[in-house]
Structure formats: structure tokens, C-alpha cells
């Protein structure tokens, strides 16, 4: 699709740029720890803990799993200038790059009365991976009878937990439009794709902005960044967090052609989206 748009001179300069690696991640699942020695493994809830060093440009996330194992991830948000240049030092894939990143981060502390390196040493080699993630908002979502959704048109790094949510809701919105479309004419398809883009592109752009802000909060260093993190993690009242979650969870669209799920949530859902077409089934 992009090749066709480029040939016609309709591809934007932004979409023509190559992707850059905005986030480098080292992830793994450890062998079991002794729950008697680690409070995190004895909790009834599955909480995750984040360790943010004062000077290193990485932060680590730890989450307990069944069987007293630990899922861990080390995340490096790459500065835009470095990301565009490719940051050769950490840009390679494969075991050599994994080993290099392990050596770079192993001195960090962890919640398990040991260093991150010791947690990594308790992790089987085949369960350790280094991955590189891109972040980009694309301006071209459709052309003629082809349409994109999910990461194909808005790539969001997973640290903010928005990527899968965006893709699923893209699919719900697009599916509802296609199901109600009276006939697959090019005119109707164009109407559907334009409506889909106008509604979902704004949400995707906002999600990308939120992910970038979250990345800055987690990875920026210096006095100002430390103050922001301290306020963010320690002084935001619970009512504000609940209010933010309520606003986010009120948008719960459902597929038109399936029986509607009863609204059982404490935060009441917003009304379902109005239908662009009158479907044959309801006409």
C-alpha cells in the first residue's frame, strides 16, 4: 500500500521515514526463588515492582509468576537522536548483543536481596531475549480497498500497556462499520475507512503521546526528573488514580452483531457508538 502511495506522490514525508528503535528491552523468566526469603512471592496479589537507578539510563520491572518464578524486564528508552542514528552499540540482535546488555545492567539492585545480575544468572539462557521496539504514528491508514489497524498504523512501545488495547478497539470499530455497510461499493468502503480513521487516529495519537510521557517519567535522569517521579509514585492521591482509570474504562464498545454484554462494571460505560449505516438486519 505504501509503495503505491509513494508512486503516486501521496505518501507523507513522515510515513516515508524508516522506523527507529526507540526502546531496547532485555526480558526473561527466572527459575524459582525461595518464597520464604522474598516478600514479593508471598503476597496474595500479583504486584510488580519497578527499580529506577539514580544514574543508569535503564529501569527494571519485576513480576512474580506461578511456581515462585519471576518475570523481569530491563528497559532503556533511547533518546530520539540516538534512535535515529541507530545507536550502533546496542542495535544488534542475537546472543552477542544480549550478553553485552546483560553485562551493562547486571550491577543494578533488585527487590530480591541480590543484584539484577544474580536474577539473570537464575534465568535459563533460552528464556532470555533482547528485543528492540519501535514507536511511530503513521498518517496513512488506508488506500482504496486496503486498510491498516494496530501496530501497522500506530506502533506504541509496551511499557505504557496500550498497544494491544488500541489494536483490539481498532478492530471493534472497523468491524462494526464493515458489518453495517449496505454494499461493498468503493464509495461505501471510502466512507467506512474515512470514519474509522477520523475516530481512531485521534485516540492513537493521544496514546502515543501518553506512552512517550510515561517513558520520560521512567527514564529521564536528574534532579527535576527525580522530583517528578517522587510525586508521581508517592503523592498522587488514590482518588485521582481511580478517576483516571474510570475515564479510561468508560469506553467499552461492543460488536453490533453479537448479543450485548450487560454493563456490570462500577464505572458506567459510555453509550455505544452511533451506527454509520442502518444495517439490513435492523432496516
Residues 78 and 154 in one domain: no
126 lies in the same domain as 143: no
State the cell numbers at 269.
460505560
The CA-CA-CA angle for residues 104, 59, 220, to 5°, reads 105
Same domain as 92, residue 110: yes
Going residue by residue through the chain, which has 283 residues, state the pLDDT in tens, using 9 for 90 and above: 999 999 999 999 999 988 877 788 899 999 999 999 888 888 888 888 888 887 788 889 999 999 999 999 998 877 654 545 444 444 456 788 889 899 999 999 999 889 999 999 999 999 999 988 888 899 999 999 999 999 999 998 876 678 888 999 999 999 999 999 999 999 999 999 999 999 999 999 988 888 777 777 777 777 777 787 778 777 888 888 788 777 777 888 999 889 988 888 777 888 888 888 764 444 4
Q: How far apart are CA 28 and CA 147, in angstroms?
A: 35
30 and 101 assigned to the same domain: yes
- The rounded Cα 254 to chain-centroid distance in angstroms is 22
Residue 1: CB partners within 8 Å, gap ≥ 6? 140, 143, 146, 148
Whether 149 maps to a domain, the answer reads: yes
Q: Are residues 243 and 195 in the same domain?
A: yes
61 lies in the same domain as 102: yes
User: Could you say which DSSP state residue 18 is in?
Assistant: P
Q: How many domains does the chain have?
A: 2
Residues 146 and 236 in one domain: yes
In this structure, the answer to whether residues 159 and 90 fall within a common structural domain is no
Give the pLDDT score at 64: 93
Give a yes or no: residue 6 inside a domain.
no
Is 274 within the bounds of a domain? no
- Let me know: does 87 contact 78? Beta carbons within 8 Å: yes
Are 128 and 141 members of one domain?
no
Helix (H, G, I), strand (E, B) or coil at 246: helix
Residue 2 CA to residue 18 CA, distance in Å, equals 12
- Cβ(57)–Cβ(69) below 8 Å: no
Whether residues 92 and 179 share a domain: the answer is: no
Identify whether residues 205 and 230 lie together within a single domain.
yes
Q: Are residues 27 and 125 in the same domain?
A: yes
Q: Is residue 14 part of a domain?
A: no
Residue ending a domain, choose from 73, 99, 133: 133
The residue segments making up the domain with residue 209 are: 137-249
| Residue 56 buriedness (CB in 10 A; 0-12 / 13-18 / 19+) | middle
- 176, part of any domain: yes
The span from the CA of 58 to the CA of 74, in Å, is: 7
3 state DSSP class of 100: helix
Question: With a threshold of 0.85, does the pTM exceed it?
Answer: no
- Does residue 3 lie in a domain region? no
Q: Which long-range contacts (CB under 8 A, 24 or more apart) does 174-177 make?
A: 174/147, 174/149, 174/200, 175/255, 176/253, 176/255, 176/256, 176/273, 176/275, 177/276, 177/277
The CATH number of whichever domain residue 234 belongs to comes to 3.50.50.60
Amino acid at each position: 500500500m505504501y509503495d503505491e502511495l509513494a508512486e503516486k506522490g501521496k505518501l507523507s514525508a513522515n510515513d516515508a521515514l524508516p522506523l527507529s528503535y526507540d526502546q531496547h528491552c532485555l526480558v526473561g523468566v527466572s527459575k524459582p526463588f525461595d518464597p520464604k526469603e522474598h516478600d514479593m512471592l508471598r503476597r496474595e496479589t500479583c504486584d510488580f515492582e519497578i527499580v529506577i537507578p539514580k544514574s543508569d539510563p535503564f529501569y527494571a520491572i519485576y513480576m512474580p509468576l506461578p511456581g515462585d518464578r519471576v518475570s523481569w524486564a530491563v528497559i532503556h528508552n533511547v533518546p530520539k537522536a540516538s534512535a535515529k542514528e541507530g545507536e550502533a552499540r546496542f542495535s544488534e540482535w542475537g546472543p552477542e548483543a544480549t550478553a553485552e546488555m546483560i553485562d551493562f545492567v547486571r550491577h543494578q539492585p533488585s527487590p530480591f536481596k541480590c543484584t539484577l545480575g544474580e536474577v539473570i544468572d537464575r534465568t535459563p539462557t533460552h528464556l532470555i531475549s533482547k528485543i528492540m521496539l519501535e514507536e511511530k504514528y503513521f498518517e496513512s491508514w488506508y488506500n482504496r480497498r486496503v486498510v491498516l489497524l494496530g501496530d501497522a498504523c500506530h506502533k506504541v512501545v509496551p511499557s505504557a500497556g496500550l498497544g494491544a488495547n488500541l489494536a483490539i478497539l481498532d478492530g471493534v470499530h472497523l468491524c462494526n462499520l464493515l458489518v453495517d455497510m449496505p454494499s461493498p461499493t468503493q464509495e461505501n468502503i471510502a466512507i467506512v475507512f474515512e470514519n474509522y480513521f477520523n475516530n481512531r487516529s485521534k485516540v492513537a495519537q493521544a496514546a502515543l503521546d501518553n506512552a512517550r510521557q510515561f517513558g520520560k517519567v521512567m527514564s529521564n535522569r536528574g534532579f527535576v526528573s527525580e522530583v517528578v517521579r517522587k510525586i508521581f509514585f508517592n503523592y498522587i492521591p488514590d482518588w485521582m488514580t481511580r478517576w483516571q482509570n474510570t475515564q479510561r474504562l468508560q469506553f467499552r464498545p461492543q460488536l453490533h452483531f453479537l448479543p450485548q454484554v450487560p454493563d456490570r462494571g462500577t464505572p458506567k460505560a459510555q453509550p455505544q457508538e452511533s451506527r454509520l449505516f442502518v444495517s439490513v438486519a435492523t432496516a
